[in-house]
Structure 1
């Protein structure tokens, strides 16, 4: 039987968690749209389980216009209220407003010819960093890199992008390979 990361197998093997682990987690992503999806999901995941967010993934995509940058960046107070009324997602005003605010900043970056995903990868010069824990060790909640990026993002106005959220994002887009050393997916790379 294939061995998976401890965070997947520590409870019941929820299908959405296994699917995410096996097909997406820590695989290098260079697609801006996918990075925006993960940013939104990581913001909503803050303080909650990843399994909870995966169950709400479809509704988040629908409510956030499939992460269309221009559409989300243009959200106003009525859109925030619409999302606050949707029981299919986490109805946290601060998280909803953070996604809109962060997308607005990223849209400004696009007007300057910059992308969010390229910004993230620039910290490692497009290299994947292996942070996967050995047997019996835990995956770090934050790293030096996630603290550095978090500080920079906050300086330019990003919200809900503390070191733990940024670390989870780095793992989601594959900049950090967080698979356990003994996980069958540890050495799997590619998009």
Structure 2
């Protein structure tokens, strides 16, 4: 019996097995867990100016360097901790980005206290449910939207760094605030059927 070929998003380099796994299992899945959201925000801010695959390859390094993305622990990192991270080959050794991550952890906690969770805050920008895009070609995918611009503007107002509208839109795509799988991608309908309409998924 011949296995049916799975169509995937046109941007995906299918020669990279770890990239395929990320696309097939994580990208675009609605995410409401604060620890995972802090992880995604940290990785997206680190990605600014680089390819996402570069960061994906260093994901384990980031997890070890930033206390398994425990936001409370990261918020308490000292200047000495930052100096040590600058020697860590497992992450992007950009001081501004490292400092921004510690800063963002502090801002993240403030939002948790105000809204009960970062998830509550983040998902308000799309009414609590994923937006589903109509994407036939790679050219149809926007780099920014009105929602990502508003989200980024509010994050900036709250003190976040390295999270402009483009980076925030990539974050929205990654954690399923918007389903930007192409219309012919096998994951699009699967995510819609499994997750669309849910108010909580951990």
Task: Bin the TM-score by the shorter chain.
Answer: over 0.9
Alignment counterpart, residue 76 of structure 1, candidates 68, 78, 102: 78
Aligned match of 1:3: 7
Contact 1:8/1:18 (8 A) holds in 2: yes
Partners of 2:111 and 2:137 lie apart in 1 by 41
Partners of 2:89 and 2:35 lie apart in 1 by 25
Aligned match of 1:184: 186
Contact 1:33/1:67 (8 A) holds in 2: yes
Moved more, 114-123 or 59-68: 114-123
Q: How many aligned residue pairs are there?
A: 189
Contact 1:27/1:188 (8 A) holds in 2: no
Aligned match of 2:60: 58
The superposition leaves residues 54-83 of structure 1 with CA deviations (integer Å, 9 ceiling, x where unpaired) of: 110000000000011110000111111111
Aligned match of 2:101: 99
Contact 1:132/1:177 (8 A) holds in 2: no
Aligned match of 2:198: none
> Which blocks of at least 5 consecutive residues in structure 2 are unaligned?
196-200
Partners of 1:13 and 1:161 lie apart in 2 by 30
Alignment counterpart, residue 120 of structure 1, candidates 104, 119, 122: 122
Aligned match of 2:69: 67
Partners of 1:107 and 1:128 lie apart in 2 by 24
Aligned match of 2:157: 155
Partners of 1:83 and 1:91 lie apart in 2 by 7
1:108 aligns with 2:143: no
1:13 aligns with 2:15: yes
Q: TM-score, normalised by structure 1?
A: 0.94
CA RMSD in angstroms, aligned pairs only:
1.4
CA 179–164 in structure 1, closer or farther in 2 if over 3 Å, else same: same
Partners of 1:135 and 1:111 lie apart in 2 by 41
Larger-gyration structure (1/2): 2
Aligned match of 1:172: 174
